[in-house]
Structure 1
């Protein structure tokens, strides 16, 4: 009689299943390029027969089943298949050991890198610094806290529980995650903000400047990012009547903000980030464009020039344009527009800054034009906001919005609709339970109730659907998905508006002729850096960076993270092509397009950021922007060989495609970059220099399980 039940490694007892044994053996066969289902069934029959002898109707441990599988394979001279099983078990063992070393109870069976991020930044700790919650408890904490807002609108305890259950489900299944401050702070006793994005005004007086510095410090303590437009500040050398002295200019005062950010560690979780913006017609624009040339100042700022349509037209026509003193509105000088445009491209070529925001395009889509003009965005540029506004963001994991029909994946539109509706409900609730850093932010935020629902895992979705990122099919799908999301989100916002009331500035908004609207905006495409790691998916709408790479996050997490695309491994296994030789060959490579052992039809699906032309990067960005209320965070990755003229063309094309902003990054143009190929790492590498296998951290040392190499820190 076959065993009745199986004891798992965590102590759980589950029913015995022969099919699970068959599936495991079949995967091992495929990994060594054997596709023989009849042979697999015979091996499985022999395994079950052996189990019947030893464990007649009793409970068997999963490890014992695996031992017998390996023994039967070897007896049947299938040594290569047995080796594959052994290596897989070893890999899983190392993952369990890594999780144990992390000291986190993995109640949701998350990948190691997800746990590393959660441990470093998100999970609650006691006064001794010991972790006191699991990932599941984190999501439960957040879900319960956010659901409580329903009581404000008449929900009873049972209804709040049902809402909390829905919120928990989409987070615990990694189908949706809110921005980091919500995960950090919701449901804790800390009076810290749940929003990620803030814009603070900077006036021209000393009092206004340092009030903005103070407000920035308060915001960043909670984990928020801050955006500033310094265009109101009078130019360098202007006379200050009160002291008969000379003004220092915007760039000088920006250093005060930068130094303040440097000494603030946000909520004990991460360092602050700022966006610094200056209008193209400010008299100090040339100094602003070049201010980060040394790479040693304003390191906590992303910089963007606010360019107007008038300026871009002057570039096209090779005309000059006026610089205007913001204090008295007088024209102080005229510059050659094309030369200034080229200078912006030159410094972006050198180190990525400055980018551009197309300020007129942003204001063409301002949902509350009668309230005021938008001047600035958050640090990554995806959230244009009015002075003192904040916005809470969240992202849907598109790689989870699929279903398998026969042997192919397709989008599960019903699931996507339900997820969008739940996410809009969640994000609207966050506004009601939020703690606002200062009263002005609370007033401005609640007046418009902006939310920003976006996506992550777009590149993973394309891979599952077997669509190349750089294709018209991908561009069309981007539009189709985002139109579906914004239409569904607006319908949900209308529904909430009818029940809960419209946002207070409704009558001053573009929605004033609609029956109802709860939120002035509903969609934003954020970069999803750390929440993308937690969700184990590709970042935002970016293509995959590489098949295997190192994420440079040692400063915040204590170590860099090596990431290998799991979908790539899965496809190779499904096609019977999985070999360690191939995995080693693609490790650390910017592209796999020249790896001939991989079939062309697979290579065309797994295009990386550096395989994709700037035009295709922009086409995907523009496709999402067409159906996004706010803006899109996207980096146009360029090879090191890209020229200044290439960047000029990209900037011009972005404007013509109606993007709201543009950021480029030329590979290796900075000494340190967030993501790199680990074959480039010279120091503190987590890769064995002898055999290129991953080093495992043990007791302060890194050891290679393959060849025995060890180094202690």
Structure 2
């Protein structure tokens, strides 16, 4: 069967993510390589069925597809075989999108959706997905409620997946095949898995409510709809009547406690009413069996304790089966219950208010115990509950999960005594049944804990979360139907039938938009959706403070749009597609200092790489310590100022050492050596990993020659480069990538990208495995001998590749924008050997540029070689076991393993010196190696210089200066642990696992400074959608120290208390203002300051932010006009009641010289917000692999995972 013959696949072949033994055997048991192939590159059909189990099937598919653009059948057959030879044994590794996409049947849909009727758990309860609205809060996979921002719908004809799991009975979930669920997979990891890739070996996460609301009591007056009277803490109603002889009187109802405590007694009484209760117009009653007098007495006692009402117990011998009833005669209680249950008090329709699902667990235990006591089926080993009320059963089932009880639920037909279809809950696992029995007895101190039990394979407990085993995955018949999806803020997930499902992401379009910026977003999103990456430069945008022609008065600046661009990338990139973004800015742009610092707040711009385009003029200004001009000018705005070059340089160095951002691109070097600076092909920025400078709408076409494959007699007496095979491989690779341009021509997301691609025919023949090649040749990477050898090697490679482009020009024609005179005037072309130059003069070139060194990442892991031009990162890695034990074990780099086996070397220490690793190489030698290769690369190089943990600012500065002086086009420096968790070698892992020696007071807890006895401040009245509030802002000798909020809304006090705690804990008031202002709602109130400035306020939190801002910046503070970003607001000044700062986006006021109080969190400096501090950097988690949870490694200019092969690039 052909690897792409989808229809011929066996009908019984099911979607799976289980690694096949055939795949593992092909890679000689190397689980990492096998997993990278199987998970990332093996072809699957539209339903997720694996069609390729070994690489030769993939090589044949790719070879056939890329050869298909040849003009004749004979040529296609010829080049299919030549390309297969090229790909075989990983001699050539195409870019990941080529490996995955060539010949891949289209299987991407725009939305991952559920059909109408699918129940979604919201704060309003379970709602059909089509009834969920923007503004609803839904339970997410993090067991918390988050806001729905958008609801999407579309029509589809595709067959839907039907997912069934154990414990949910016949509650199957239908969804589009690509919708993802959070699952534990057979390899032992937890991750998001497509529905059509789920198997019976998967366990899907159950979402549970963990939030508890602080509701202490109910006021019965609130439930009497204005008709209640109060006296001595009780409520009653009174109704006039006319008696005999026309006498008028007033009939009063029985008194009921006005305030009902929400405690275990109330929960117990409510449970009995749900199970056994009903109402008439005048009474509340409970129907019990004559065998349950103890329950009757308990209900009567609870009624007196909870409501202050007496109850009567009446036996009814005339009733079948001898029932008894408990009566409570109280119209007030009847009215309360009807309002409490929203008018639905019949047995088949009762449901508790949705807020009850978030009540304290002790109250819910009392409730559950009473329900099971009243309607449960109790046996020695299990407990069960049947109710002809599916809505209530779902609520109780949700509560059981919250109480850590594992239960099953199933539909049941109408039983003998019911008129409505019912549902069963069954608790058949002993520890959970015992807990419910304790609650039935009234022992609410008993806790249920999620534990795995012997011989129960239907669920797993991982880190306190419950995962339920998949029972079956099938397909429903195809039909035209409407399907829906939700966009959820922050967690990007929601709960469907108690299971955690991923959502699609949407970036809402806000007002005050700029057409070109939002055009960029639209085009970038489309590019990401089809697997592309994007680079953009911000230098064309006006800087912060420049005038604008709209209501904002001044621009927020180019940096303010970075988060928007980043979110666009993350939105697409995290939905199963690969979004990648590079943002650059010129060193002369007035916003460059803001740009350099933006990612020091580790919550900002998370989905983009950033680099500064550095000029030779700037570098010379740094060397001579002189001023450097910043400027921006267009027809709308002009801004200019001078800065000390070394001030910007110091921030660049600090960013590189402490945050690994931004990178440096030596832009004058790129422009100087560029081969495309004519006919509209001039480069303006780079691709996301910076190895390809690009023109507008230019794109990358990349593949990598595996240099490790081309060594004769490796480790022998006379090892040498196998040019007899390397040169044909270089020529075939050049043709292969040129064919990809034609194969992909109609697959570009944007017409402009297609036009740019075919106009220049830019390709990137790249290289990987150089570190392994040098080892096989016996050359130590960090020696002058190795650098000299590599210089000569790439000199020859350059000429071979360019010569092949001439051959293609002769056969197929030059690239459309080719201009012989202009191209031959380029400085790079002039470095070619005279015979090649002469051939170019006569025949031209097929491609405007041809060579690069990209990050190879997963491709190198697949081939089992070093990445790009990097040395071995480490001789051995620490990997986690895929079993539940998660034990670690040592995995050798493949070439190290091969050498040790061949020469019977038992210890790493006995390896030859040429097995040098990245951490053992002096940074200067890494720079020299990159510079030697760069001379022969017409594009650029993505590579990383790894520095030790104790590297200083001066060490980083030396690397940067040396790279510039040696002619590198860019450089990436990575200091170990500059982002905690990215680099981990075997030695570090051992150090991390060793017991730590306690260090006294190495890091103190954050302790707020004491409140002084006397403070001074101001009180301001602010209008909010919830009514008028009063905000008191006080300060001590250190500045603003507390905020009091007086409001009828008791939760408003919590906002003030937390703000005060943050302020006295040393948090910058600007950060407090920004965070409070972010709390928004759809309600609006308008508040006018004492100066007449009107501000839109949507929440109490925003009102507090407004009052705090006015205290600091005066009455004209307008956070609704210009978002109050902490890094834009002026620095606060102490004793602000005597001083008023002018509020402007670019205002900056130096703080006074008062001493900083001793608090647990250091007070941030004026130049940076609190989020930019080194303290924040220690909390960074970006170095964790999103696929397997292992530590990422940063090499070849990109983060990738040595454990599973994931690559960020």
Q: Equivalent residue for 1:129?
A: 48
Q: Equivalent residue for 1:143?
A: 63
Higher relative contact order at CA 8 Å, sep ≥6: structure 1 or structure 2? 1
Match of 2:645 among 314, 331, 337: 337
1:626 lines up with 2:935 in the alignment: yes
Cα distance 1:473–1:101, how it changes in 2: closer, same or farther (>3 A)? same
CA distance in 2, matches of 1:395, 1:238: 45
1:520 lines up with 2:848 in the alignment: yes
Q: Equivalent residue for 1:431?
A: 741
Cα distance 1:603–1:109, how it changes in 2: closer, same or farther (>3 A)? closer
CA distance in 2, matches of 1:360, 1:502: 28
CA distance in 2, matches of 1:563, 1:250: 46
What is the CA distance between 1:477 and its match in structure 2? 1.7
1:275 lines up with 2:579 in the alignment: no
1:465 lines up with 2:777 in the alignment: yes
Higher helix content, 1 or 2: 1
What is the CA distance between 1:161 and its match in structure 2? 1.3
Q: Equivalent residue for 1:666?
A: 975
1:105 lines up with 2:43 in the alignment: no
What is the CA distance between 1:574 and its match in structure 2? 3.9
Once the two structures are superposed, what CA deviation does each residue of 1:508-534 show, in whole Å capped at 9, x if it has no partner? 741487221000111001111111011
CA distance in 2, matches of 1:421, 1:279: 37
CA distance in 2, matches of 1:413, 1:553: 41
Q: Equivalent residue for 1:477?
A: 789
CA distance in 2, matches of 1:462, 1:108: 26
Cα distance 1:511–1:445, how it changes in 2: closer, same or farther (>3 A)? farther
TM-score (normalizing by structure 2): 0.44
CA contact (8 A) 2:711 2:720 kept: yes
CA contact (8 A) 1:232 1:326 kept: no
Once the two structures are superposed, what CA deviation does each residue of 1:368-423 show, in whole Å capped at 9, x if it has no partner? 21234322111111111111001201111111001128644211011110000100
Once the two structures are superposed, what CA deviation does each residue of 1:75-115 show, in whole Å capped at 9, x if it has no partner? xxxxxxxxxxxxxxxxxxxxxxxx99512633854643122
Deviates most, 243-252 or 139-148: 243-252
Cα distance 1:562–1:427, how it changes in 2: closer, same or farther (>3 A)? farther
1:541 lines up with 2:865 in the alignment: no
Once the two structures are superposed, what CA deviation does each residue of 1:183-214 show, in whole Å capped at 9, x if it has no partner? 1111123399xxxxxxxxxxx98111111111
CA contact (8 A) 1:511 1:517 kept: no
Q: Equivalent residue for 2:74?
A: 158
CA contact (8 A) 2:596 2:651 kept: yes
Q: Alignment partner of 1:263: what SS?
A: helix
Deviates most, 309-318 or 397-406: 397-406
Q: Alignment partner of 1:239: what SS?
A: coil
Larger radius of gyration: 2
1:654 lines up with 2:963 in the alignment: yes
CA distance in 1, matches of 2:704, 2:690: 16
CA distance in 2, matches of 1:559, 1:267: 31
CA contact (8 A) 2:815 2:848 kept: yes
CA contact (8 A) 2:573 2:580 kept: no
Q: Equivalent residue for 2:905?
A: 577
Match of 1:245 among 553, 558, 566: 553
CA distance in 1, matches of 2:657, 2:879: 22
Q: Alignment partner of 1:264: what SS?
A: helix
Q: Equivalent residue for 2:543?
A: 235
1:642 lines up with 2:951 in the alignment: yes
CA contact (8 A) 2:660 2:978 kept: yes
Cα distance 1:609–1:352, how it changes in 2: closer, same or farther (>3 A)? same
1:70-81 matches, cutoff 5 A: none
Q: Equivalent residue for 1:367?
A: 675
Unaligned runs of 5+ in 1: 1-98, 193-203, 587-594, 688-699, 703-713
What is the CA distance between 1:222 and its match in structure 2? 2.5
Cα distance 1:553–1:309, how it changes in 2: closer, same or farther (>3 A)? farther
CA distance in 2, matches of 1:260, 1:561: 39
Match of 1:440 among 737, 749, 752: 752
Q: Alignment partner of 1:149: what SS?
A: coil
Unaligned runs of 5+ in 2: 1-15, 109-511, 826-839, 995-1187, 1191-1209
1:313 lines up with 2:609 in the alignment: no
Higher strand content, 1 or 2: 2
1:493-504 matches, cutoff 5 A: 493-504=805-816
Q: Alignment partner of 2:701: what SS?
A: strand
Match of 2:730 among 410, 415, 420: 420
Q: Equivalent residue for 2:765?
A: 453
Deviates most, 405-414 or 355-364: 405-414
Deviates most, 347-356 or 566-575: 566-575
1:188 lines up with 2:104 in the alignment: yes
Cα distance 1:519–1:266, how it changes in 2: closer, same or farther (>3 A)? farther
Q: Alignment partner of 1:662: what SS?
A: strand
CA contact (8 A) 1:304 1:353 kept: yes
Cα distance 1:104–1:573, how it changes in 2: closer, same or farther (>3 A)? closer
What is the CA distance between 1:676 and its match in structure 2? 2.0
Once the two structures are superposed, what CA deviation does each residue of 1:38-62 show, in whole Å capped at 9, x if it has no partner? xxxxxxxxxxxxxxxxxxxxxxxxx
CA distance in 2, matches of 1:550, 1:238: 52
CA distance in 2, matches of 1:638, 1:247: 39
CA contact (8 A) 2:45 2:105 kept: no
TM-score (normalizing by structure 1): 0.73
- Tell me how large the CA RMSD over aligned residues is: 3.0
CA contact (8 A) 1:231 1:326 kept: no
Cα distance 1:301–1:551, how it changes in 2: closer, same or farther (>3 A)? farther
CA contact (8 A) 1:108 1:172 kept: no
CA contact (8 A) 1:452 1:522 kept: yes
Q: Alignment partner of 2:841: what SS?
A: coil
Q: Alignment partner of 2:582: what SS?
A: strand
Match of 1:177 among 93, 98, 107: 93
Match of 1:409 among 719, 722, 726: 719
CA contact (8 A) 1:223 1:266 kept: no
CA distance in 2, matches of 1:677, 1:327: 50
CA distance in 2, matches of 1:453, 1:523: 5
Q: Alignment partner of 1:440: what SS?
A: helix
Q: Equivalent residue for 1:614?
A: 923
What is the CA distance between 1:326 and its match in structure 2? 4.0
Deviates most, 129-138 or 115-124: 129-138
Q: Alignment partner of 2:641: what SS?
A: strand
CA distance in 2, matches of 1:672, 1:224: 28
What is the CA distance between 1:278 and its match in structure 2? 0.7
Once the two structures are superposed, what CA deviation does each residue of 1:540-570 show, in whole Å capped at 9, x if it has no partner? 000111111258999xxx9999741232233
Cα distance 1:487–1:552, how it changes in 2: closer, same or farther (>3 A)? farther
What is the CA distance between 1:603 and its match in structure 2? 4.1
